[in-house]
Amino acid sequence: MSVIKVAILGFGTVGEGVYRTIHSHQEELTAVLGKEVEVAAILIKNKNKEREISNAILVTDSFDEILQLPQLDVVVEAIVGKEPAVSYLKKAINSGCHIITANKEMFAHHGKELLKLAEDNNVSVGFEATVAGGIPVIQTLRQLLKINRVHQIQGILNGTSNFILTEMREKKQSFTEALLLAQENGFAEADPTNDVEGFDAFYKTMILSRIAFGEEPNWKDVELEGITTITSELIETAEKLGLRFKHIASISKEGSQINAIIKPTLVDKSHPFYHVEGVQNAVNIQSDIVGGITLQGPGAGMFPTASAVIEDLVFVCQNDTNNKISRPVANSFGEKKTELKEYWLVHGLTKKYLNTTVSFIQDVSDETYIINGTKNNVEQIFSLHKPLCYFPIIGEFKTLINA
C-alpha cells in the first residue's frame, strides 16, 4: 500500500495535536484515503527541547531539509505569525505539496496569493483550522455556497475571549485570572493581545468574508473592539438585565457593500449565542434558501484544532486541486435595507448629550442606561461625546422591557 507523507511545521499545541491524531486515527485515515498517512518530518525551533516524537521521524529546524525528502505530499503549518510561515508554504506549493494551515494571521494576510499559487501548481489548500477551532465552518460554507446565497454570518470566533467572559461571570474571576487559565489550557495565542483585543477574531472574520462573499471589506473600515473594556461590574449589570456579554463578529453584504463589526455585544436569552459558554465558538449563517443555521463547538485547544486539520488532510488528498467554491459568489445581494433600530447599553456618558434621533429607554445604574436607535444615529452622537463604552443588544430584548 502506498503512503501519504506529511510534514508538520511547529510542535506547539496544534502541531502536537495533529501528530498524535494522525497516529490515533491511522485506521480511519487509511480506510478513507486508501493509503497510510505517515508523519515524515517535524519542523521545530529548539532542537534541545524534550519531545515525545518517534525516532523514525526527521525532526529538524531546517525547512529546506524537509523539502529535500524524497517524497513529501502534504505540509501542515502550525506555527505563529506571517513569517516564516508564508515563505515556507510558498516553497511547499512550488515543490508540488498540498498545504494545510491553522495560522489565521498568516492566512488572512496571504490566503489569496497562496490559493492562487496553489491553483497554478495544481495543489490544494486546507484552512479549516483557521476559523472556529473544531467547527467545520469552512466545509459547511463550501457546501452551502454551491447554491445558497449567504448574506450574513455572525460568530463567536475567539475561544479565549468567550472563556474569559464566562469565567468572569460564572466564577467571579478577575480578567487576569481568567486569561491565565486560558493560557494554561492552551487556548490563548502566544501573544494573548491578539485574543483579547479582537485581532484573532478579526483575521478569522476576514477569512470567512472571503469564502462567503468572495472578497473582504476594507480592513480599515472594520469596527474592531476586544473584550478589555468589559469589567466585572458591567457583567453583573448585564446579568441583572438577563443579558450576557459575548464577543461577536458580524459580516453581511448588502448591495455591493460588505460590512463587518467585531465587538462585545449583549445577547439575550432568545439568541442562539446566549448559551455558548467557555471555550466554545458558534457561527450563525444566514442564507437565502435554508434560512439560518447555527454551528457550535470547541473553538480552541489541541484536539479540536487537530480535528479540523485532519478533516483538511482528507479534503486535500481527496479533492486534490479543488480550491474553489463551486460557483462564483453572487455579486448582488439586493438593495441596501433601511437601517433598523437596535437597543444599546451605554456606560459613562451623561444623558444630556442624547438627542432626538435616539430614544432613551431605561436607567440601569449610575451613568449606565439603555437607548434605542439606529447604528448610524447612535454612532453620530458618540463620535462627538464619547461614552466609556457602548454595546449593541441582540435577541428579542425589546419584549422583555415592554418598550
Residues belonging to the active site: 204
Rounded Cα–Cα distance for residues 373 and 151 (Å): 23
Stretch of residues binding ligand HSE (CB under 6 A), selected from 56-64, 185-193, 260-268, 358-366: 185-193
Q: Are the beta carbons of 125 and 321 closer than 8 angstroms?
A: no
User: Out of 200, 216, 268, 312, which residue is the one contacting ligand HSE (CB under 6 A)?
Assistant: 200
Q: By C-beta, is 101 or 368 nearer to ligand HSE?
A: 101
Antiparallel, parallel or unpaired: β 150-156 and 98-101: unpaired
Does 349 help bind ligand HSE (rule: CB under 6 A)? no
Site string for ligand HSE, 105-144 (x = CB under 6 A): ----------------------------x-----------
List the strands of the sheet with 74-77, edge to edge: 58-60, 36-43, 3-9, 74-77, 98-101, 125-126
Least CB distance to ligand HSE at residue 155 (A): 11
**C-alpha grid cell for residue 266?**
449583549
Taking the least distance from each CB to ligand HSE, the nearer of 73 and 189 is 189
Please say whether the beta carbons of 190 and 228 come within 8 A: no
Interaction residues for ligand HSE, span 268-307 (CB under 6 A): 299-300
Contact flag: residue 156 with ligand HSE (CB under 6 A): no
Binds ligand HSE by CB under 6 A, chosen from 158, 205, 250, 265: 158
In the bound state with ligand HSE, the residue whose beta carbon lies nearer, of 85 and 361, is 85
Question: Within positions 206 to 265, which residues make up the interface with ligand HSE, using CB under 6 A?
Answer: none
Q: What are phi and psi of 230, to 5 degrees?
A: -85, 110
Q: Which of 73, 189, 268, 312 binds ligand HSE (CB under 6 A)?
A: 189
User: Where does residue 365 fall: left (phi above 0), alpha (psi -120 to 50 degrees), or beta otherwise?
Assistant: beta
Task: Quickly tell me which residue has 445558497 as its cell.
Answer: 148
Residue 54, all three cell numbers: 518517534
Phi, psi (5° rounding) for residue 319? -90, -10
- Between 13-24 and 26-33, two packed helices, what is the crossing angle to 10 degrees? 70
Pairing of strands 3-9, 36-43: parallel
CB 348 within 8 A of CB 163: no
Min dist. Cβ of residue 189 to ligand HSE (A):
4
Looking at beta carbons only, is 158 or 372 nearer to ligand HSE?
158
DSSP state of 351: G
- Binding to ligand HSE in span 64-93, by CB under 6 A: none
Burial class (CB in 10 A: 0-12, 13-18, 19+), 257: exposed
Segment near ligand HSE (CB under 6 A); pick from 79-87, 157-165, 243-251, 358-366: 157-165
Residue 256 DSSP SS3: coil
Q: Check residue 103 for interaction with ligand HSE (CB under 6 A).
A: no
Return the number of other C-beta atoms located less than 10 Å from residue 70's C-beta.
6
Site for ligand HSE in 352-381 (CB under 6 A): none
Closest approach, Cβ 106 to ligand HSE, in A, equals: 12
Q: Is 10 in the site for ligand HSE (CB under 6 A)?
A: no
Residue closer to ligand HSE by CB (options 15, 133) is 133
Q: Which residue has the cell 460590512?
A: 259
Of 195 and 268, CB closest to ligand HSE: 195
| Least CB distance to ligand HSE at residue 219 (A) | 19
- Residue from 160, 166, 250, 368 touching ligand HSE (CB under 6 A): that is 160
Smallest distance, ligand HSE to C-beta of residue 15, A: 14
**H-type helices in 34-73, by residue range?**
63-67
In the block, residue with C-alpha cell 483575521: 203
Residues that bind ligand HSE (CB under 6 A): 133, 158-160, 187-189, 195, 200, 299-300
